[in-house]
């Protein structure tokens, strides 16, 4: 799927700038939901770090450095809450048909960890990503820069829901990359955060909970500090998920560390983050196309880059998003917000 025309966005690059990575989306036409697959057909060393208290995940335990499996072949990101994990079955089938997977003597078994976000309030909640959605996302995968905003796992994402979904704004999916010393680090983030999203460079709010009249941003952090009480929340009804990828050669221990420090980028761009109602989960993939030689960036630099691209991709996720309307909700987006000036929300 090619990206729709977007306003000028900050930052640049895409996770597909990392050699060995492909991305595909499937967006369900019946309601805003979908699947996004990040393919590493030749295998990638992987790690994961779960910071939210209400995650929906698949095959994350095998990524522990002490466990047997050394490489994965894809990561699934999907809407639909835990039902959406079924989309991984389609990814597994697509890879198996192409002979991609771990040789287990009786066949090649594709290793496909995944994570989901909660987008059920947007449209008919009975429509969720399934195996066909995951398969379709694989069919659409390529090395081209992926579409951003209301696509794939970000199709039904909202942000700023602490004071009720009726005051939220549109979230989405975004990507970014940086290259230093011959090594590339990229991120793909589906932002469905309970908290607000802000510009990590200036601290300025970009999207989040709106005031009761819907005409201005409330500023969730300051509202909480003033003692305003949030609406009762169902655990797990939010969640930001994503993938950090690099072409560096990493061990499983290093990949897990990269996933962990990438959450610093979420913390710079989302406030509050990692809450009891979020299942924030980040994966890290290392395709190993570039060896870390003496003059190449080490883990300290790679960790800094991982946090940076995670923050950048989060910003792009909300700035690329478009307004939506359902029978129950009318959700504006940062790109067409009346108070937006010079690319930011005022």
Task: Give the three-class secondary structure for 168.
Answer: coil
Question: Could you list the residue range(s) of the whole structural domain that residue 275 is in?
Answer: 15-345
More confident site: 326 or 31: 31
According to DSSP, the β-strands at 102-103 and 340-341 are unpaired
pLDDT digits (tens, 9 = 90+) for 139-154: 999 999 999 999 999 9
Q: Give dist(CA 317, CA 185) in Å, integer.
A: 17
**Residue 4 forms part of a structural domain:** no
Phi, psi of 221 (to 5 degrees): -60, -50
The answer to whether the beta carbons of residues 253 and 286 sit under 8 Å apart is: no
pLDDT at 225 over 60: yes
Helices 299-319/252-269 angle, 10° precision: 40
- CA-based nearest residue to 128, from 166, 78, 89: 78
167 lies in some domain: yes
DSSP conformational letter for 210 = B
Q: What is the pLDDT of residue 339?
A: 55
Domain assignment of residue 258, yes or no: yes
Q: Tell me if 147 is assigned to some domain.
A: yes
Q: Which helix (DSSP H) or strand (DSSP E) does residue 203 occupy? A: none
* 7 pLDDT above the threshold of 60: no
Residue 243 pairs in a beta bridge with: 188, 283
Cβ–Cβ under 8 Å, residues 34 and 155: yes
Q: Of the ranges 59-63, 164-168, 294-298, which is most confident?
A: 59-63
Segments in the chain forming alpha helices (H) = 87-97, 131-139, 220-225, 252-269, 299-319
Number of H helices, E strands in the chain: 5, 20
d(Cα 97, Cα 174) in Å, to the nearest integer? 29
Pair type for strands 114-116 and 108-109: unpaired
Task: Tell me the CATH number at 252.
Answer: 3.60.70.12
Q: How confident is the model at residue 265 (pLDDT cuts 50, 70, 90)?
A: very high
DSSP string, 158-204: EE--TT-GGG-EE-EEEEEEEEETTEEEEEEEEE--SSEEE-TTT--
The upper half-sphere exposure of residue 339, i.e. CA atoms within 13 Å in the direction of its Cβ, equals 13
Residue 43 burial (CB count, 10 A): 18
Comparing CA positions, the residue from 99, 256, 241, 252 lying closest to residue 173 is 241
Residue 328 pLDDT class (50, 70, 90 cuts): confident
pTM for the whole thing? 0.93
The tally of domains found in the chain comes to: 1
Q: Is the residue at 223 inside a domain?
A: yes
Cβ distance 22 to 15 under 8 Å?
no
Residue 5 counted as domain residue: no
Calculate mean pLDDT across residues 193-209: 95
pLDDT confidence tier of residue 268, bands split at 50, 70 and 90: very high
User: Per-residue pLDDT tens for 150-196?
Assistant: 999 999 999 999 998 889 999 999 999 999 989 999 999 999 999 99
Q: Which residues contact 93 (CB under 8 A, 6 or more apart)?
A: 131, 135
88-98 tens-digit pLDDT = 999 999 999 99
Residue 236: inside a domain, yes or no?
Answer: yes
Give the pLDDT band (50/70/90) at residue 344.
very low
Cα separation, 290 vs 292, in Å, equals: 6
Rounded CA-CA distance 307/330 in Å is: 32
The predicted model gives 284-300 an average pLDDT of 83
Residue 142 and residue 72: Cα distance in Å, rounded?
A: 18
Is the pLDDT at 4 greater than 70? The verdict is: no
The two most distant CA atoms of the chain are separated, in Å, by: 62
For residue 72, being part of any structural domain is answered with yes
What is the mean pLDDT of the segment spanning 59-69?
94
What's the CA gap between 244 and 75, in Å, rounded? 11
């Amino acid at each position: 799927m090619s990206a729709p025309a977007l306003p000028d966005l900050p930052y640049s690059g895409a996770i597909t700038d990392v050699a060995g990575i492909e991305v595909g989306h499937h967006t369900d036409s019946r309601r805003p939901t979908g699947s996004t697959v990040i393919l590493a057909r030749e295998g990638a060393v992987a790690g994961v770090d779960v910071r939210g208290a209400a995650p929906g995940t698949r095959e994350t335990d095998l990524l522990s450095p002490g466990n047997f499996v050394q490489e994965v072949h894809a990561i699934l990101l999907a809407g639909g809450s835990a039902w959406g994990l079924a989309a991984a079955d389609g990814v597994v089938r697509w890879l198996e048909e192409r002979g991609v997977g771990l040789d287990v003597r009786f066949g090649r078994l594709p290793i496909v960890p995944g994570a989901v976000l909660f987008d059920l309030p947007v449209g008919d909640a009975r429509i969720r990503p399934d195996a066909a959605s995951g398969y379709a996302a694989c069919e659409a995968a390529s090395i081209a820069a992926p579409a951003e905003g209301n696509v794939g796992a970000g199709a039904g994402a909202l942000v700023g829901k602490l004071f009720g979904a009726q005051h939220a704004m549109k979230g989405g999916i975004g990507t970014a990359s940086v290259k230093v010393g011959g090594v590339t680090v990229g991120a793909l983030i589906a932002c469905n955060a309970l908290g607000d999203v802000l510009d990590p460079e200036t601290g300025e709010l970009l999207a989040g909970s709106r005031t009761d009249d819907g005409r201005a941003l409330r500023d969730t952090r300051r509202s909480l500090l003033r003692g305003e009480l949030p609406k009762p929340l169902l655990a797990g009804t939010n969640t930001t998920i994503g993938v950090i990828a690099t072409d560096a050669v990493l061990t499983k221990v290093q990949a897990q560390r990269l996933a962990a420090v990438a959450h610093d980028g979420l913390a710079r761009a989302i406030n509050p983050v990692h809450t009891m109602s979020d299942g924030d989960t980040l994966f890290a993939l290392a395709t190993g196309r570039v060896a870390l030689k003496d003059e190449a960036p080490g883990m300290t630099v790679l960790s800094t880059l991982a946090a940076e691209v995670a923050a950048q991709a989060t910003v792009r996720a909300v700035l690329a998003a478009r307004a939506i309307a359902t029978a129950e909700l009318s959700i504006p987006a940062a790109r067409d917000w009346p108070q937006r000036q010079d690319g930011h929300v005022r």
